[in-house]
Amino acid sequence: MLSQIQRLSQETEGRYATDEELRFLADYARSFELRVQTYQKLQASEAVIIQQVYTKMRAIDPTLFRVGNEDMTTKWQRDTLRVLRYSAAAMLIDDPESLRERFLFWFQTLMRAFNTQKSCGVTYTIMQEVVKQLLTPSEAGLILPILEVNRRMLGTV
């Protein structure tokens, strides 16, 4: 949304915006209540989401939380919570572009430096499954595309 507003401001400098150029604002207004509801549900459920993702990942492959001999569970939980919160905010303001440009590119560099792409890929695949169970289909439809971007950016080599 913020990226779209900025782009609209630049593209319409010195003139009025067309109905087509303003359409994203009407679309956002229509989805605003659902976005707030989804954001609040994610906020209230974040501990459950993180715990369920962790439990499922641990069952699949306990080594996903290890780098060498070091247990990275606490770091994984902190990082995953951070990404979930940034993702929820991006969904709320309908601005996945800013999430990608201002957070995910930077975070991707860190995840690659620690060689955690496999863990990230599994994390955001499972998180999508967990979120589908906790949210209504309409709510999930708002956040799942962002979680998929997270999986693609952080979970690929």
Q: What is the pLDDT of residues 4-20, one digit of tens each?
A: 888 888 888 888 988 88
C-alpha–C-alpha distance, residues 116 and 51, integer Å = 19
Tell me which of 3.40.50.300, 1.10.490.20, 3.40.50.10320, 3.30.360.10 is the CATH number of domain 34-154: 1.10.490.20
Q: What are phi and psi of 141, to 5 degrees?
A: -60, -25
Orientation of helix 105-113 relative to helix 117-134, angle to 10°:
130
Low-confidence ranges of the chain (pLDDT < 70): 157
The domain locations on the chain are 34-154
pTM for the complete prediction? 0.89
For 66, the enclosing helix (H) or strand (E) is: strand 66-67
pLDDT of res. 19: 87
72 contacts 66 by C-beta, under 8 angstroms: yes
